[in-house]
Chains A and B, each alone.
Chain A
Amino acid sequence: MNAFLAIVRRDLSLALRQGSDAAMALMFFVIVVTLFPLGVGPEPGVLERISAGIVWVAALLAAMLSLDRMFQSDYDDGTLELLLLTPAPLELLVLAKCLAHWLTTGLPMLVIAPLLGLFMNMQTEAFPVLLATMALGTPVLSLIGGIGAALVLGARRAGALVALLVLPLTIPLLIFGVSAIEAAVTGQSSEAQLLIIGAMLLATLPLAPWATAAALRQAVS
């Protein structure tokens, strides 16, 4: 457990001191969303209709942007090999990396999402559901993204490759995230969709670190 907390603390302080890296994903998130009113026109009805999808797609893209820094710098400077040599189980350390990644990208996106919803004319009743889907969904993004980030270590054009590998796996999340918000907008219950996203989180929580650890082991072997 000490190793777990130590890694979370280390990654957080690294992110805070470098600053710009973590902020970049957030800025990207905001900029992508602001492009849409300019692209499709500022008509409020249209924006309201597409707001849930835009915010979610932008969140997926922003997460992709931040994934390559999850293991890459540790891989480059040899920290990763030391992590593999520690007695603590690698799966737990991966979980710590994913938690740190979520705290530096998922959580800020979650905080700023209602503001973007407001930009996009989203109805205020939908905000709690938007927050709920993001709160359950962004950790899934960090966990699945970890697999992709670990697989492409040492590959050519790793950044583009990680998007190709991870985005197809996150499509179910996008579908249920958006349909939960649309259900809330039309006055229906979005409980079913939220339960499914919760189930995705519960399934990826043990399984994704396991696959990521396997990928990391083969990356340094």
Chain B
Amino acid sequence: MNWFHWFANPARFMRFAARLQPWIMALGLATGAAGLYYGLIDSPADYQQGETVRIMYVHVPSAWMAMFVYVFMAFAAASFLIWKHPLADVAAQAAAPVGAGFTLMALVTGSLWGQPMWGTWWVWDARLTSVLILFFLYLGYIALVNAFDDPERGSKAGAILLLVGAVNVPIIKFSVDWWNTLHQPASVARMDGPAIDPSMLLPLLLMAAAFQLYFFYLLIVRMRGELTARRIRLLRLSDPA
């Protein structure tokens, strides 16, 4: 846990993040470019779905990120409540709009994919409904954090809400197994290995890595911005002139 406490000093985090930031951007751009090349040009079209299968390279990573960011925020909320880690709350609040964005993107690209494949923009299937609930949870968290005059109160109430809402994550993950509805079951993270051809799996994983790096890049940008804003607020309060 040493590295965890090492970051409890915001100034140290700021220095470290500033050094890490360009590397994350470079790596993210590289994996993103490679993923787009393999996904849009090099990989074959699906024998059933044709060219529309390429929506997958945006849809699936954003859906993964929608869940990952929520889990990340829930862990941040737990460490904020348990260890009072000063950066955890900043991280959760910085991640929330990004996570909501990923969720919205998963919903929109899924809708664009559903129209040619299923013949409908939207069905009230278990997977779609639970992801929509996830989107509402993100919005609820953002609204709750900003609803208090005292930012400290908003942080704590938001952290509790994040932990309560975490029950939805396993429901999303297993919704396609528990309810046999229109959305297809998992084909990458399976006990018997991925049921997807390597020519499609490679760009998918590259894109997933690119999305992940993009998230961490945005997280650092937003956290640095928030820490700077807090410092400005403190300076203003301490300087009467």
CB of B104, distance to nearest CB on chain A (Å): 15
> Using a CB–CB distance below 8 Å, which chain B residues touch chain A?
81, 129, 133, 136-137, 139-140, 143-144, 147-149, 153, 156-157, 160-161, 163-165, 167-168, 171
Docked-complex contact A172 and B171, CB < 8 angstroms: yes
Q: Which of A156, A157, A171, A215 is the one whose CB lies under 8 Å from B157?
A: A215
Residues of A within 8 A of B139 (CB): 164
Chain B residues near A164: list those with CB within 8 A. 136, 139-140, 143
**Are A151 and B133 also in contact (CB < 8 A) when A156-B147, A168-B140, A172-B171 are?**
no
If A211-B164, A214-B160 touch, whether A165 touches B144 (CB-CB below 8 Å) is yes
Does the CB pair B160–A211 fall under 8 Å?
A: yes
B153 adjacent to A165 (CB under 8 Å):
no
- Asked whether A151 lies within 8 Å of B160 as measured between CB atoms, the reply is yes
Chain A residue nearest in CB terms to B171: A172
Alpha-carbon separation in the docked complex, A151 to B145 (Å): 10
Whether the pair B140, A165 counts as a contact (CB closer than 8 A) is yes
Kindly state whether residue A50 has any CB partner on chain B within 8 Å.
Answer: no
Distance in Å: Cβ of A158 to nearest Cβ of chain B: 8
Could you tell me the distance in whole angstroms from the C-beta of A3 to the nearest C-beta in chain B? 24
Identify the closest chain B residue to A158 (Cβ): B147
A155:B164 contact, CB within 8 angstroms: no
Q: Which 5 A-B residue pairings sit nearest by Cβ, starting from the closest?
A: A155-B147, A168-B136, A218-B156, A151-B157, A165-B140
Q: Which residues on the A side are within 8 Å of B136 (C-beta)? A: 164, 167-168
Further pairs besides A154-B148, A164-B143: 13, Cβ < 8 Å: A151-B160, A156-B147, A161-B140, A164-B139, A165-B144, A168-B133, A168-B137, A168-B140, A168-B168, A169-B164, A169-B168, A171-B133, A214-B81
Residues 160-176 of chain A, each 1 if its beta carbon lies under 8 Å from chain B, else 0? 01001101110110010
Main SS class of interface, B: helix
11 contacts between A and B (CB under 8 A): A151-B157, A151-B161, A154-B148, A156-B147, A165-B143, A167-B136, A169-B165, A171-B129, A171-B133, A218-B156, A218-B160
- Say yes or no: A152 contacts B147, CB within 8 Å: yes
Q: Report the Cα distance A157→B140, complex, angstroms.
A: 13
Tell me if A147 counts as interface (CB < 8 A to partner B).
Answer: yes
B148→A147 contact, CB < 8 A: no
A32 interface hit (Cβ, 8 Å): no
Q: Do B137 and A218 touch (CB < 8 A)?
A: no
The reply to whether B133 and A218 contact each other, CB–CB distance below 8 Å, is: no
Q: Given A161-B144, A164-B136, A168-B137, answer yes or no on A218-B163 (Cβ-Cβ < 8 Å).
A: no
Give the residues in chain A near B168, CB-CB below 8 Å: 168-169
The answer to whether residues A157 and B153 also contact, given A165-B140, A218-B160 and a CB cut-off of 8 A, is no
- Nearest B-chain residue to A151, judged by Cβ: B157
CA gap between A215 and B154 in the complex, in Å:
11
CA A157 – CA B168 in complex, angstroms? 26
From A158, A165, A218, residue with most partner B Cβ within 10 Å: A165
Measured between beta carbons, the chain B residues less than 8 angstroms from A152 are 144, 147, 157
Q: Given the complex, which residues of B lie within 8 Å of A168, measured CB to CB?
A: 133, 136-137, 140, 165, 168
Inter-chain contact B165/A219, CB cutoff 8 Å: no
Q: B-facing mask of A135-167, CB < 8 A → 1, else 0?
A: 000000000000100011011111001001101
Determine how close the nearest CB of chain A comes to the CB of B80; give it in whole angstroms. Answer: 11
Distance to closest chain B CB from A27 (angstroms): 27
Tell me the A167-212 residues at the B interface (CB within 8 Å): 167-169, 171-172, 175, 211
